[in-house]
């Protein structure tokens, strides 16, 4: 495969994400300057998680991807995914809730990692004192709220949070297949950002 074909594949990836006027990051430029087969893998992986899920509908997939773009503070992808999610039926209230959930998980991920790392009774027995009203009657519904919480917590590496949100999902009837696909989506979008933003 030659560099011209790889560049076309990369252009197709950007088109899939509705990203325009993109100046390649140093990481992207490195791939584009060689016969980097990973560009094709990346495009296939992104397309599969956003468009070919057996368990997530299009809107759910795009909102999960949006949460990772918000979490990773990457405006270009955040804006394009917000547009795509809106086209798939997401409301401004739902997009705002994704931002709220992502922020709350960043709070909780730091706090509960601290508790888990130290495993001291004093810290574990103190009330968290963290306001979490967004968790009550989420506009996205409980399942998607928990899926976003789980995926963001997975990306942020909070073991306690991952276990807690996975248990809540299983307890309310979400299948392991859906959980698996949601986390895989988060992983792929995190990898995408590593190329586009680095």
Q: Write the Ramachandran bin of 131: left for phi over 0, alpha for psi from -120 to 50, otherwise beta.
A: beta
Active site residues: 158, 161
Tens digit of pLDDT for each residue in 134-147?
A: 878 899 999 999 99
Tens digit of pLDDT for each residue in 163-198?
A: 999 999 999 999 999 999 999 999 999 999 999 997
**Is 4 a residue whose pLDDT tops 60?**
no
> Quick one: which of 54, 90, 57, 49 has its CA closest to 189?
49
Options 1.20.1290.10, 3.40.50.1820, 3.40.50.1970, 1.20.1050.90; CATH of 55-190: 1.20.1290.10
The pLDDT of residue 1 is 43
Task: State the chain's mean pLDDT as an integer.
Answer: 93
């Amino acid at each position: 495969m030659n560099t011209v074909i790889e560049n076309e594949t990369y252009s197709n990836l950007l088109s899939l994400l509705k990203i325009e006027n993109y100046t390649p990051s140093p990481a992207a430029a490195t791939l584009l300057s060689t016969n980097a087969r990973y560009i094709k893998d990346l495009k296939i992986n992104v397309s599969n998680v956003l468009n070919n899920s057996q368990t997530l509908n299009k809107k759910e997939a795009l909102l999960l991807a949006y949460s990772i773009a918000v979490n990773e503070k990457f405006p270009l992808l955040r804006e394009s995914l917000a547009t795509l999610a809106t086209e798939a039926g997401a409301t401004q209230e739902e997009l705002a809730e994704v931002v709220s959930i992502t922020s709350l998980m960043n709070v909780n991920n730091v706090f509960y990692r601290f508790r888990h790392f130290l495993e001291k009774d004093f810290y574990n027995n103190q009330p968290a004192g963290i306001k979490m009203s967004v968790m009550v009657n989420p506009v996205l519904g409980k399942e998607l709220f928990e899926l976003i919480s789980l995926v963001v917590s997975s990306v942020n590496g909070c073991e306690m949070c991952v276990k807690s949100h996975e248990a809540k999902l299983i307890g309310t009837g979400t299948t392991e297949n859906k959980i698996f696909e949601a986390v895989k989506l988060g992983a792929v979008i995190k990898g995408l950002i590593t190329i586009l933003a680095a």
